Structure formats: structure tokens, C-alpha cells
Amino acid sequence: MSFAGKTLGHFDLLASIGRGGMGEVYRARDRKLDREVAIKVLPEEFTRDGNRVARFQREAKLLASLNHPNIAAIHGLEESGGIQFLVLELVEGETLADRLKRGPIPADDSLKLALQIADALEAAHEKGVIHRDLKPANIKVTPEGKVKVLDFGLAKAFAEEKQEATLTYSPTLSELATQKGVILGTAAYMSPEQAKARTVDKRTDIWAFGVVLYEMLTGRQLFASDTVLDTLAGVLRKEPDWEEVPARVRPLLRRCLQKDPNKRLRDIGDVKIELAETLANPNDVLDQRLIAVAPERKLLLGFPWIGATAILSLLVGGVAVWKLKPTEPRQVVRFSYEIPDDIPFNLIQGGAVSPDGRKFVISTSKGLYLHPVDELTAKFIAGTEGNTRRPFFSPDGKWIGYYSATDRKLKKIAVNGGTPVPLCDVAGISGAWWNDDNTIAYGQGDDSIMRISANGGTPESIARQKSRTLADPQILPDGKSVMYTAFPMPVVKIMVQSLKSGETKELFRGVGARYLPTGHIVFMSPDNNTLFAVPFDLDRLQAKSGPVATLEGVGSYVVSESGTLAYIPGASGAANSRQTLVWVNREGKEEPLSAAPNQYTFFRISPDGKRVALTVGTPPKDHIWIWDAVRETMTRLTLDEGTDNMTPLWTPDGKRIVYTSSRENLMLGDIYSKASDGTGEAEKLASSPGRGLVPWSWSKDGRTLVLWEFDSTASNQDIGMLAMEGNHLRKPLLQEKHVEHDPRISPDGRWLAYASNESGKVEVYVRPFPEVNKNRWQVSTSGGNNPLWSLDGRELFYHTRDAAMAVPVETAPTFNPGKPTVLFRGTHSKCTWLADYTYWDISPDGKHFLMMKEAATEAPRKINIVLNWIEELKQRVPAK
């Protein structure tokens, strides 16, 4: 009910001026003191709980002791006719939320307001009071520009004491679904620990302060979404787009917005110091102009915005300066392009920057789009119709090479379009480099780097590493060596190899390395979204010092020799990928498993088909979980922290799980066993120093565990056996000079299917078991991995790069494989840690396969451009 026009005690309630999760607020006149005040009438259900009222009175006394010019005062807690209400200082002006409806606040003005908010928080924290519900709606700005923070500590005072630590009675949900807008408005400013219903301290206010400051600078709510759950999920998982805020403020905001409170700034007084120093040193005016203060000046591909002409003039001028004044430091300029919805952009398909830095090309499922830096629109390159991937420029910038997934060819086309020129057939490419000698080096998604003339011809192999997938090649300026990335994860490495001798040298862990004329190698970390740089001695082919982080929050990047950096902000790679699990029948029809998307890598179906054991997470925080398909619940099996636990395999009776754990054998792993219901401790079954042991299959009687074994280089992979009785004796089964993996024993126990690269590429073979040296049959004909047997043993399934294959087999009087046929095709995920490797399992009835697909997420639709980034690189990471 409304109390406007009514009287409570000696207060005349004149008009309603707002409503929040803790009651309605009225402008009122205090007849005793002849002054205007604000009255907050507390909800009726609150007043019926005597314990909560008593507790509120105790808290209100503490809150009333706050006396600070930036804190709206509490004059008292009153009661009239059974109605409880607070008497508050009446603050004229608009809330910060109202002000932000008109857009972002200029950087210096934002910082000045933030300094006053920090002053208020410091005064409260010194009294032991935490706000708990800091948000723009609780911050007023008077007409004179003075900040007044409202509702200090009321969230705690209002909550039920016995429920204080629960989400239901947090400030986010204190008024349930009837106040959806209020809930969402508050949830967006919650700290991660509040969202997890954990105990909070003053660091939760520091988090909310950071969220509010980010919103003031950008005019955009950082975590708000359409529903409470989506909003809270954003708080827990989403990372801010740091490029949207001025560079000088980013360090402070990063410290305020650490999701782990132990890594967050601990005292708001430290925030005040940094704010004051930042205000005193406005040293990134250009950055503010292009990014933070005027988001309307961003450039949208295909659509001009207000102010774009002025920025383009600056960019064109910047390009001209490169030639006119090459000896002077060039100005670093940042801006971003937002990609229209009608361009089917996909982060994975890639992009490239021209050598002069003046153009970049985007690869899409419809073809290539070229975007000159000094123009507003992206232009479709006629002739590239179809699914294109991995574009790259010629050294003179006149041609673009790319892979056509439509007809599986490496092609080139003139930069302005025309008739594409096919160069060679290839199943796929994993990066390419157009060298000055008019040759193209490319990875073909296997263990080789190939080279072909830019005019076409027969490709030749120039680098190779058995059992590794090679990607992102670059012929170094000496012309004598090639640099590339060698997978699989997590032991992913940047390598350099002599083109003459074939001698290989490991440089460091990383992905996507590029050598620049400044004498640096830049590369991405395999563990997070950080771009690193390291000074590099080209003569000795070695780093001069350790890597230095240069840019965080990078999903993928490309950089030109002239120094233009283009990158997609956000997450990518193994550490951030999320998959869904799907059942696929023999016709390729999919039905999703109801388990939520997550970072899945390995999984096995239980013998009864009712449960799935899964590896979830990324090292060193991957663990074994059990999905119960009947109850639709996910239960964690392995509990030890800081340890890799992966590759689960059910025992034949379904009572235990054997798996690989690195708790003692780091980066490799030993064999452990644990009851599948989670009871008891894990039992160590086998270890081998310097070797990784992976459980993969069982003999028919369940007495022998067949292992996939490898060393730290992953170049030595074999198949072994482990006795499950007695002392768990381990011995080799198949140990040859080739790489052997994926061992699977047939249902009748007589045959061993496995994968090997003995022919030069990975194929599926079968041998007798356990007498593996008596015979051998090749089953696949055009590559294959991860074989599976049908339940009756009359079919063998395996996977190629893009297809599931089926092979009929006869076993009497001897083994005889039939012709492989395509069972179904599909864009199913590769195993995160094994590069070009499709992981799957077969149901006990033999009718369905369990597979992974990338979770449906909204792809980033923004490209950040940094002109002359090379100048910034030279300052941060000196090459000498």
C-alpha cells in the first residue's frame, strides 16, 4: 500500500520518491524539527518478525553513528501504529543510475565521483560497517556535484540473522521475484563471494566499487543480463573488456575486480591513493578519446557512426606519418570494430593483417571480407564464395592466401577479388606463411609442415615431428629455419627446425608464435588469454631473456611486420573451451545429454549404460566426475586439489574407476583406482618414473588392464599391460619404433585394435591379443584414430578428421576386415589435449555414440586494432 499523503507519528509523508528491496521511500516533513527528511517504510512481513526487528534496531544504532559528508545520514528508527520506518537524510539530486541513463561520464569526472564514493566507504569500513549493496541506485549526486552514498549496511540489518549467509536473503534476492528489476540491478553488482553465498567482508564493497566505476566510464553495466541466473553467472565467469576503459584506470580496476577476494585490493584507502594519483597524471588522453569517453566514436563495420570521420582522419594521418617520419616514435592508436550481424564472423576461422598494417581480412563461412583501416565498411572479396579459413597475405600485400573448406583446396586470390587460383589439394590447414621467396609454408593439421610454390605445384615436407600436430609455421628471416607450434596440449611448445639438417630445438611453451622485425617473438600463453613477448637472438635461435606479458584478455591475435596488432578480446583455447555431450546414432542424428556444458575432455560410459565418468576442467584443476543419467546429477569423484585427474575407465563390474593422476608424477601421471560411489580412498595401482600411464581397455576376464604409455616428449608412445591381481605387475605389450596408442580389446578378448603412425600417418590396425607379434592388419585406409568395437565384435568403428567410419570384420578362420564406409559426418569437438583427435565412446547396446560438441556461445563480434603497437612493445620489452 502507498503511504503518500498519510502521517506517521510527527512525520507527514508528502510523496513517494523511490522503492527498493528494503522498502518504499517517501519525501516527508518532520513537524518537530521543521525540516524535510526521507522516510523508508519497511515491509509489513519484516515488522511481524520480532527477532529481525530487534536485530535491525541494533544494527541501526551502529549505522546512525556514521557521520561523513559523503554518507546519507540515518536520523533514527521509528514505529507508528505497528509500522516500522527509518528516518533518513533527504538528499536532493539524481541517483548515479539516473545519470548513467544518459551515457558514460567523462573519465576525469568519473574519477572525481569515485574518489568521493571511496571516501564514504573508507569512513564506514573504519567503523566496521560494510555496505553490501553498493550500486548506482544507492549513490546520489547533488546539484553541486557532491556524492551521497545511501543505505549503508541496511542489507545486513534487513536480513534474517539465521539466513544471513544464504543467497535467498542476500541483498540480491531480498525481495524475491516481484521486484525483478531491483533484483537484476543489485545482482549485477554482487561480488563473486556474495553470489556463492559465502561470508563477505569489506572486499565485497571494493568489488562493487570497481563495477560502478567501470559503468561510469563506459555507460554499460558490466554483468547485467536478462535473468538473475544469467547475471550471477556473468559475475562468476565473465571477464571485463578492459579495452573499453582508459589505460590509466585499468590497473586499478583490475585490482578491484579480481574474482578471488584474496587477490583483490584489501583496503579502500589504497583505492583512494591510486585514484588521486591517476587524477594527477592524465597521461592517456588519446586512449580516453578513442575508447572510454565516447563509445559513439567506435567504428562499426558497414555502418558509419558520429565522429568516425574525425577518427579516420587521425588514422590516415597516422599511416602517413609511418612513411614521413620513420625515425621518430610513432603514436600508438587504439580503436575497435564491431562486426555487423549480417557478416557470419567466426573467431576460429581466423583473420590476417596486411604487411603494411593498412588492411585486415576476416574469414567467414560465406567468404573473405577485406577491411581497409581508413574506411568505414568491410568489402566482400568476390571470388571467395564458400567456407573460407586461415587467410594470410603475400609479402607485397597484393594477394591473399586461404583455405577453402568447401572444396578442400589451398588457394590465393588478388586482394581486390577476381578468380581464385588453386594451389593444391589439402584436407585442412593449421596456419600458413607466405615467404619472401614466393613460397608458402603451411601446416596440414598433422605431424608435418609443408611448402609449396605460391604459383602452385607439388608440396614438399620441410618439418616433421612424429605424434605431434604442427601449426602456425613461419620461415624465419634467415631463410634457414622454420618456427612452428607443436601440439598436443598441455605440453604445447614453440619449436624451431633447421630446413637443411632437420635439427629441432624447443624454444618455450606457447602457441601461435610470430617473429617481428624488432627482434621479438610474440606468442600466446597456452594456459590463459595473455599475449607474451620475448627478445630473440636470431643468430643463435634462442631467447635473450624470459617472456614478458604484454596484453591480457586476448582470444586470438594477428600482427603485421609494420606493427599493427588486431585481436579478438575474450577467451579462447583449451582453458576456456566448453563442450556439450551428445548421443549420436548410426545415422548421425543427435540427442544432447542433459548434463550442463563444461570443460569436458575424456569420458567413458558405465557397463550398465546408466552413468558416465567424465574428466572436467583443465590442468591442474581437472577432476573425475560421475554423471547419473537416471537422477540427472553430477557428482565429483576425485577431491584432491592441484592435481590432474583424467582418463576415467570403469572396471567391468562398474564398481570402481581407474584413472590417471599426476599427484606424484607431474605432467605425466600414474594409475589410481577409486570406488565409483565415492567411498574410500584412492588406491595407487602403478607408476613409472618418466612415463605417463593411461588406462584404456580391459581384457575379457578383467584381470588385465591395457595401457597407453608415453614419455614427456610425447614422441615415444607405446601400449602396455597391467595385472590387476597380486603386485600389479606392468609389462610392455606393443613397443615398437613407431607411435602406438588407443588400444581397445575386442568383446571376445581375442583382438587388439589400436592406432599407429607406422605408414607415415595415423591409421587403425588390429593384432591378435595377447600374442600381438603373430600378425597385423591395417583397417583404416585414409587415416583414423580411437577405434571402438561393436558389442558383438563384428564391426570396428574409428574416426577420421570429420567422419565416423564403420568396418565390417570377420574373425574366423582368421581376422579379415572389410571396406570402410562413412557412418556419419559432423562437427564434433576434438579432444582438448590431443589436438586433431576425436574422442568418443559407444553405448552398451551398440546403437549410440557419446561425443562432444562445442557449447553454443555467442562468438565475440568485436576486433580491437592497435596501430603502431610495435612502439609499445619496444618500450615494454627492450630487445637488447
Residues classed as catalytic: 133
- Beta-carbon count within 10 A of 473 CB: 26
Report how far residue 3's alpha carbon sits from residue 678's, in angstroms, rounded to the nearest whole number: 58
Q: How far is 14 from 11, CA to CA, in rounded Å?
A: 9
Angle between helix axes 268-280 and 203-218 (nearest 10 degrees) is 30
Round to whole Å and give the CA distance between 361 and 351: 5
Looking up cell 627492450 gives: 878
Nearest CA to 532 out of 505, 559, 504 is that of 559
Tell me the C-alpha distance between 87 and 90, whole Å.
9
> In the structure grid, which three cell numbers stand for residue 637, read together?
569423484
Q: Which amino acid is at 258?
A: Q
776: which 3 cell numbers?
Answer: 597385423
Whole-angstrom CA distances from 801 to 222, 442, 446, 696 are 39, 18, 10, 21
Beta bridge partners of 505: 496
Q: What is the DSSP string of 272-301?
A: HHHHHHHHH----HHHIIIIIS-GGGSEET
Phi, psi of 484 (to 5 degrees): -160, 170
Of 287, 292, 284, 275, which Cα lies nearest the Cα of 113?
275
In angstroms, the CA 431 to CA 287 distance is: 32
C-alpha cell at 749: 578378448
Compute the distance between CA of residue 841 and CA of residue 363 in angstroms, rounded to an integer. 33
Residue with cell 621467396: 437
Which residue has cell 572389410?
818
Q: What are the cell numbers at 407? A: 572444396
For the residues of 33-61, what is the DSSP string, one character each? TTEEEEEEEPPHHHHT-HHHHHHHHHHHH
Pairing label, strands 409-414, 421-425 = antiparallel
DSSP string computed for 785-848: EEEEE-TTSSEEEEE-SSEEEEEEEE-SSS-EE---EEEEE--PPBPTTSSS-B--EE-TTSSE
773, exposed or middle or buried, with CB in 10 Å at 0-12, 13-18, 19+? exposed
Total count of residues recorded for the chain: 880
Work out the number of other CB atoms within 10 angstroms of the CB of residue 395: 14
Q: With CA atoms as reference, report the closest residue to 153 among 218, 225, 202, 80.
A: 202
List Cα–Cα distances, 262 to 203, 207, 258, in angstroms: 9, 12, 8
Report the 10 Å Cβ neighbour count for 702. Answer: 12
Measured from the Cβ of residue 707, the count of other Cβ atoms closer than 10 Å reads 27
Contact 753, 746 (CB under 8 A): yes
Question: Which three three-digit cell numbers place residue 73?
Answer: 545520514
* Distance between CA atoms of residues 783 and 761, nearest Å: 7
Long-range (24+ apart) CB contacts under 8 A made by 845-848 are 845/609, 845/791, 846/790, 846/791, 846/792, 847/585, 847/586, 848/583, 848/584, 848/585
> Three-state SS for 230?
helix
Secondary structure of residue 705 in the 3-state scheme: strand
Q: What are phi and psi of 485, to 5 degrees?
A: -100, 135
The residues pairing with 654 across neighbouring beta strands, listed in sequence order, are none
